[in-house]
Structure 1
Amino acid sequence: MFQHITLYHQNEPNFNITCDLHNTCGVLYKTYSAYKAHVYRQHTSELHLKNKPNNNSNVTPNESQQQESMNNLDIGLGTINNADDTFDFITDDIESILVNDDYETNFCNPALLFDSIHNVKSTSELLLIIKRSYMMFLLELREQYLLPQGVMNIISTYIVTLIRHLELLLEKKAFLPSTDIYSTSTSSLPKQNQKIIEIYQLHEILNDLSNIIESISKNNYQFIKHCEKHFDYTSPEEILLSSPDEDVMHGYFIPIDRTLSSMLKSQPLLLEISENIQQQRINVENDSDLMFSIRDGYHGYRFDQDSLLIQLYLDDIGLTNPLGAKRDKHKMTMDDIKAQRFFAPIIENLNKLQLHGISINGIHLTFSFSTVVADNLASHFVGGFQSCFSSGHFCRRCYITYPEKNLPIPLSQIPTRSMIDHDDLVDKIINDPNRVSLKGVIGPSPLRELIGFHAITSLPRDLMHDFIEGICPMIIISLLKQASALRILTYSENAFVFY
């Protein structure tokens, strides 16, 4: 009954059914997905309870039966084609997602991934290979083509439906063997090479395949668990950001030690990193003017020469608001409390990595935090500085004020920030009930507990924005003024006039 509903009625717009697989059930369902989930949860034993056909049945027809099979197959395909009209809206949605003229499609050859399938003799091993190949297919749809879970479930449902149709077709074409089965056959193959498969075995194989497909893509939780088991997939850890009296808000992160362990399992990659570090040391020793990393800088003395450096990248989330008066792209950041909650498990993970390291293939690796790479806005946010650059002490490197930025003040006369002064300002702000900002500092950094981090030494300059938005405009203005003075070009109200 369930098989019939799956084949012929699952996509009906007015789907309505009362479960009668058990006398004590009688639950009414108006969607196939809810009915299917109920059956697999409550009636698994009834679902897989099948009577085996006669063990002598086979699927090797003679010539007349082969012709009849082809005719019936044409009729069956015609019936399926007529039913395709009810699936057009789903097919159109899938095609609209997959079709992209600007996207280069690379198809993976399963034979290259599972070339050992011909050497497998065990049925369980062969089913495992099929399971892994189908999981690889779903991973490609999910990660490369970004298909949602609902579309993947539709694909799996159609594959299972195809297998069920194939099973019904083979069952109808099976027949009892007779003594003259080979004498009436006109096959060109030798008689001893013709194999007969018993229909109950075919039922079991197809049923196992269908169960594998359905179990993999049944829901996102099962899919993730299978990926963790077969592909060493690491699920993001959930961080609760909201307070008990607020709407629930979560953040997610993947532990850095697990990511590094997965990456550095590759022996060639680890060897390439080691050789690159060694070559940099040799080049710096031969030429003191070279600087390849922070090891070669003013604060490089605090890093262990045998440890690998960890550099973090931070940026704000950009949101686009297409409605309302402010139709533009806006920056989105967290408040101080949510930022501390978000960074707390990340800091704990990084500190553990720096203290204990990781062992990969018998090699113990140590790590040291170096810097946080970010633009000026994100650096000020994570460093505990003011995010307004048009007033007050806007610089995180020195104590210059906004009115003084265009004055010809020598750099030697501008007081620079130091670690001791910054810590004193942070302590004063923490002890102040009003939390008033002091000299551009608004509070402690959410990364304050990270080993090796300090807001003064761990946030390098944003060279790209400083150059493009600071130096380049000044140079262009100077060039235009000089060109105008030399009469190379003149400036009118609406256009440049070249001579």
Structure 2
Amino acid sequence: MTEHPSLLFSNMNTIQDKEDEPFVEQENSDEDELEKFEDIRPSKNNIPWPLSTGLINEEDDIEQFTVNSLEKHYVRFLLDLREGHLLPQSIIKSITNYFTAMLNILFKIIHHQATQSSNSLLIPLADIEKLILQIKTSMRNIIKNEYQFSKRCEEHFEYVAPCEIKINDQGDCGYYVPIERSIKNLLNKADVITYLIDNLNDNIVQTKKDLDLMLTYRDDGIGITNPIGPKKDEHKLTLYYFVIEDLPDVVRSMLQSIGLVGICCTKYLSLETNPIKYFESMINDLNHLQTTGLSVQSFNGQLHFVFSILTGDNLATHKIGGFQRNFNSGQFCHLCHISYEFRLTPLTDISFLPRRVTTHNMYVQQAVKSFNTKPVAGVVGESPLPHLIGFHPIKSLPNDLMHDFAEGICPLIILGMLKEASVKRLMIYDQIEQKMNTFNYGMNDQSNKPPKIRAEHLTNSRIIGSASQKLCLFKLIPIIFDDVIDQLTNTLDIYTCLHEIISYTYSTKFRKSWLPYLDSLTTRFQSLM
């Protein structure tokens, strides 16, 4: 490794005090660590997604460092703290205060060493003090307020603030993040466009030579108050995300591959006209991507996109599709014409027609003519996305596996099996709790290890944990309770059938020839239930 010249002293061979010796050892160890760091190369499974993959990016090595350069790297550091680690502004201000205090200490160390040296200085101490003062002033200005921080982000990282969208005359508004800029930022990251093109070429036969990049949207609702408090449903936000489907699995599954598109207070979107106003900008940008395309620095050519699907839970799906939002009457399914009164009839004895585009359009017209006063075959009106190219409520709103399986039917089957074990006196709740809490999860399941399930959870018929944790528990039930699983005669067949269904629906590659067998499995599962 090349030796870096000193910025402070003309001769570094001066005799150091004993108290300075640890600094020399630390400098050598830092050089060793830097050599190890430079040997690390990003692999296909180790993609440099963060804003700064190292202390200094490769493109920064060729620039002349100034106070403005330091400000840029400090803003990047604060961005990582705020957006990556979710630290509040008060803590970030405290960190800045400590940094400025350390700069004061740094100057005192330089001053002490300069007075101990008999050699002439390359840089006068007054100039060093002036430089450090300038740096401290710049660091304090960054965190002075939100406007100053956003201004630095725009200057150094081309940050674009979300667009405010007024949805009524009362001043209620939502926010939209321009999707074109988000996609550009994503595709300009290191190696992303390479992975995207390679994956698209690998699947070119399966996609029937369709070179358009598919965009998937997701609708999700979150609560911003105490989930067990009295106002848990009073303040809710609706968020919209996007992901590029053509990214390889190792990239698409990363949190950084999911982009935020919009955020709005849920109650503002409850009125019929508000969603149409809110989605207008989003629809215009999506249509522009599908008709004109997008150019990015990392690719020589024009990238074209196509809208694929919009996913969400059943309530969000019905809201976007213009279907009824209650599931205890009428034709409550957005995929078929099943009626609530026949929901418990085995599918071996009855069948329901799937919804069609032509008949759905007719139902929409009838609902609009009746001023949306009552549902027509489960349809209450037009979707707020009627002008989005490629979207139709019948084709673009599939069921969500996470809600339907991981958070829906899987916990119910788990509870049914554990309660059967208790009813048959194979185990009491305390023994079930002890057995589950002492189970040793394997290396591949550690990230999705379910939280401790206590006896009161079973009493209250409630399985806690995230969707991935519940799915992990569902798959491991036969192993955890291997000594009693064969005696659960009432629920074992149901579990086995559902386990096989999940193995098909969660598979990364799905063959068309599997559909008839999957259909027979779902019919059998519904009949067993």
- TM-score exceeds 0.5: yes
SS at match of 2:191: helix
Is residue 2:445 matched to residue 1:445?
no
Counterpart in the other structure of 1:181: none
> Are the equivalent residues in 2 in contact too, given 1:239–1:342 (CA < 8 A)?
yes
Normalised to the residue count of structure 1, the TM-score between the two structures is 0.59
Q: CA deviation at 1:358?
A: 0.6
Q: CA deviation at 1:260?
A: 1.3
SS at match of 1:143: helix
Q: CA deviation at 1:356?
A: 0.6
Is residue 2:252 matched to residue 1:312?
no
Percentage identity across aligned positions?
Answer: 33
Is residue 2:286 matched to residue 1:350?
yes
2:164 to 214, 218, 238: 238
Is residue 2:184 matched to residue 1:261?
yes
Q: CA deviation at 1:129?
A: 2.5
Is residue 2:326 matched to residue 1:388?
yes
Counterpart in the other structure of 1:365: 303
2:127 to 198, 201, 204: 201
Q: CA deviation at 1:59?
A: 12
Q: Superposed, which structure 2 residues align to 1:42-441 within 5 Å? A: 112-113=56-57, 125-160=65-100, 187=117, 191=119, 194-195=120-121, 197-198=123-124, 200-241=126-167, 243-245=168-170, 248-266=171-189, 268-282=191-205, 284=206, 305-321=210-226, 333=266, 334-335=269-270, 336-360=272-296, 361-408=299-346, 413-433=351-371, 435-441=373-379
Distance (whole Å) between structure 1 residues aligned to residue 412 and residue 84 of structure 2? 44
Cα 1:202/1:270, change in 2 over 3 Å: closer
> Are the equivalent residues in 1 in contact too, given 2:372–2:380 (CA < 8 A)?
no
SS at match of 1:135: helix
> Are the equivalent residues in 2 in contact too, given 1:163–1:206 (CA < 8 A)?
yes
Give the unaligned 5+ runs of structure 2: 1-7, 11-16, 18-49, 238-265, 433-483, 489-529
> Are the equivalent residues in 2 in contact too, given 1:398–1:414 (CA < 8 A)?
yes
Q: CA deviation at 1:346?
A: 1.0
Distance (whole Å) between structure 2 residues aligned to residue 168 and residue 131 of structure 1? 22
Counterpart in the other structure of 1:35: none
Distance (whole Å) between structure 1 residues aligned to residue 381 and residue 159 of structure 2? 38
Q: CA deviation at 1:378?
A: 1.6
Q: Aligned partner of 1:259: which letter?
A: S
Q: CA deviation at 1:450?
A: 0.7
Q: Superposed, which structure 2 residues align to 1:462-477 within 5 Å? A: 462-467=400-405
Q: CA deviation at 1:363?
A: 1.2
Counterpart in the other structure of 2:33: none
Normalised to the residue count of structure 2, the TM-score between the two structures is 0.56
Cα 1:59/1:410, change in 2 over 3 Å: closer
Cα 1:491/1:278, change in 2 over 3 Å: same
Cα 1:426/1:110, change in 2 over 3 Å: closer
RMSD over aligned CA atoms reads 4.6
Distance (whole Å) between structure 2 residues aligned to residue 278 and residue 421 of structure 1? 38
Cα 1:327/1:277, change in 2 over 3 Å: closer
Distance (whole Å) between structure 1 residues aligned to residue 409 and residue 363 of structure 2? 31
SS at match of 1:311: strand
Deviations 1:169-194 (A, max 9, x none): 999x999xxxxxxxxx984x6x4xx2
Deviations 1:229-270 (A, max 9, x none): 2123332222223x223xx43322221111111222247322
Deviations 1:151-202 (A, max 9, x none): 333443454466578879999x999xxxxxxxxx984x6x4xx216445534
Q: CA deviation at 1:362?
A: 2.6
Q: CA deviation at 1:357?
A: 0.3
Counterpart in the other structure of 1:456: 394
Q: CA deviation at 1:439?
A: 1.4
In our comparison, the structure showing a higher alpha carbon Rg is 1
Q: CA deviation at 1:224?
A: 1.5
Q: CA deviation at 1:138?
A: 1.6
Distance (whole Å) between structure 1 residues aligned to residue 310 and residue 59 of structure 2? 44
SS at match of 1:239: strand
> Are the equivalent residues in 1 in contact too, given 2:364–2:381 (CA < 8 A)?
yes
The size of the alignment, in residue pairs, is 354
Distance (whole Å) between structure 2 residues aligned to residue 131 and residue 327 of structure 1? 41
> Are the equivalent residues in 1 in contact too, given 2:223–2:232 (CA < 8 A)?
no
Cα 1:479/1:202, change in 2 over 3 Å: closer
Give the unaligned 5+ runs of structure 1: 1-57, 61-66, 68-105, 176-184, 285-294, 297-303
Distance (whole Å) between structure 2 residues aligned to residue 186 and residue 263 of structure 1? 52
> Are the equivalent residues in 1 in contact too, given 2:310–2:396 (CA < 8 A)?
yes
Q: Aligned partner of 2:300: which letter?
A: G
SS at match of 2:374: coil
Distance (whole Å) between structure 1 residues aligned to residue 98 and residue 412 of structure 2? 63
Distance (whole Å) between structure 2 residues aligned to residue 476 and residue 128 of structure 1? 58
